[in-house]
Every structure is written in C-alpha cells, then in structure tokens.
Chains A and B, each alone.
Chain A
C-alpha cells in the first residue's frame, strides 16, 4: 500500500499569502492518479486538482498542482478567506486508494 505523507500538519497564514502544501508518497505514483481535495467542517470533500496538475471544473486559478514520482505540491497563490480549510491528497495505485492525513490551513 502506498502511504501518502502530507506536510506540514498545520499551516498558519494570513489572507493574501501564498500556501504551499506537500504530499510525499512512499513509492512512485503515476501523475494520472494523484488528486487534491479541500474539506470544510461539516462538508464533503471537494475536488480541486486531478491528474496532479489539472484543475477541476469551477476551481479558481489561484489553486495549482505540480509534481511527479513521489513528491507533489498544491499551491494556493493568494489565500482568500474561503480557502481556510483542510486539504487532502489522494492516490490510486494497484487498485488501492490512499489519502494523506491532511494539512489544515488556518488563519494566522
């Protein structure tokens, strides 16, 4: 099973700042199989990025994904008030799906 490790656990930033979230895999992941989600309290996860770097429908261009192999990054270029939430990376590999433990982006 591929283990995804997200860092940092919590990111304390102010609106307008840049957020950089990391997702590291225990073994290589195909870029086609790497996604990022945003989750707010009491809500279902929302797809942000699929295929490591493709934005989902309706996702603002301040969200971007990059990376390959074992290292992937979600960048939020300028934080808006509605972006403070928990973010998860996810991978599909060998018919097994795993999620990272999440990064909480909180208001500083």
Chain B
C-alpha cells in the first residue's frame, strides 16, 4: 500500500526558508521509474507544480521558482525534502507531495498523493 505524508511548519514568516518533508511507504525511490514531485495549491486556486526528483537523483524545477527551490531525497529514510527560500505571503498554499511512475513505455503516471499540508506565510 502506497502512502505519502507531508510534514513541516504550518506558519512561516516572510523572508524565511520553508522546509517540507515527504515521508512515504509502499515503494522505494531507488527503484527504476520511481519519482516524487511537489505540487502546491493556493486557497481557491489551481494546482502548481514545483519540483520533481527521480530514482537516479535527476532533479527538475519549475522554471518560475527554480532559484528558490531545492529538492533532495534520503532513500534509506524514504523521505523527500523540499526547501523554498525567501517565503512571501503569495506562497501561502497547501503543499502536496505525490508519487510518479515512469513506465518502460515512457508513460508518466502520478498515481498517489499525500493529503497535503497548509503553509501560511504571515508576519
């Protein structure tokens, strides 16, 4: 059974750095084709993709947020960590992590999501 759970602070101040952890079970991020992404959703708005890390440690970032994001993994702990620097009130959102499978045919499947964690940026 695949599960993912996001954890991190519920409240951060402007200019601070946000660190979120995705702890997962039911799969290994060292298995070929496995990846984890971070996605966020401001209240009442659409989904926005942030970053992805692959089983081979390849990393991809949103072009618009690339300078502020860092994604990393700890395979032994089944965790993926996302840091976002210089937080602003517009970054207030629910942050989700999700598992991605890339099949041998190249089909990309984001099949499991965490329940999300709401992060509010306010002084």
- How many inter-chain residue pairs (CB < 8 Å) link A and B? 60
Among the 9-residue stretches A18-26, A63-71, A72-80, A98-106, the one with 4 or more Cβ atoms under 8 Å from chain B is A98-106
Contacts of B111 in A (CB 8 A): 47, 50, 56-57
Contacts of B37 in A (CB 8 A): 97
Q: How far is the CB of A52 from chain B (nearest CB, A)?
A: 9
Closest B-chain residue to A46, C-beta based?
B113
Within 8 A of B (CB), among A40-95: 43-47, 50-51, 54, 56-57, 88, 90, 92, 95
Contacts of B52 in A (CB 8 A): 95, 97
Complex CA–CA separation, A32 to B103 (angstroms): 10
Complex CA–CA separation, A90 to B37 (angstroms): 13
Which among A32, A37, A56, A88 is the interface contact of B105 at CB below 8 angstroms?
A: A32
**A51–B48 touching, CB < 8 Å:** no
Contacts of A47 in B (CB 8 A): 109-111
Q: How large is the interface on B (under 10, 10 to 19, 20 to 34, 35 or more residues)?
A: 20 to 34
Per-residue interface assignment for chain B, residues 87 to 123, with 1 indicating a CB less than 8 Å from any chain A CB and 0 otherwise: 0000000001000000001111111011110000000
Q: How far is the CB of A101 from chain B (nearest CB, A)?
A: 5
Q: Which residues of A contact B (CB under 8 A)?
A: 1, 32-33, 35, 37, 43-47, 50-51, 54, 56-57, 88, 90, 92, 95-102
16 pairs, CB–CB < 8 Å, chain A vs chain B: A1-B63, A32-B106, A35-B110, A44-B113, A45-B47, A47-B111, A50-B108, A50-B109, A50-B111, A54-B107, A56-B111, A92-B108, A95-B60, A97-B49, A97-B52, A97-B62
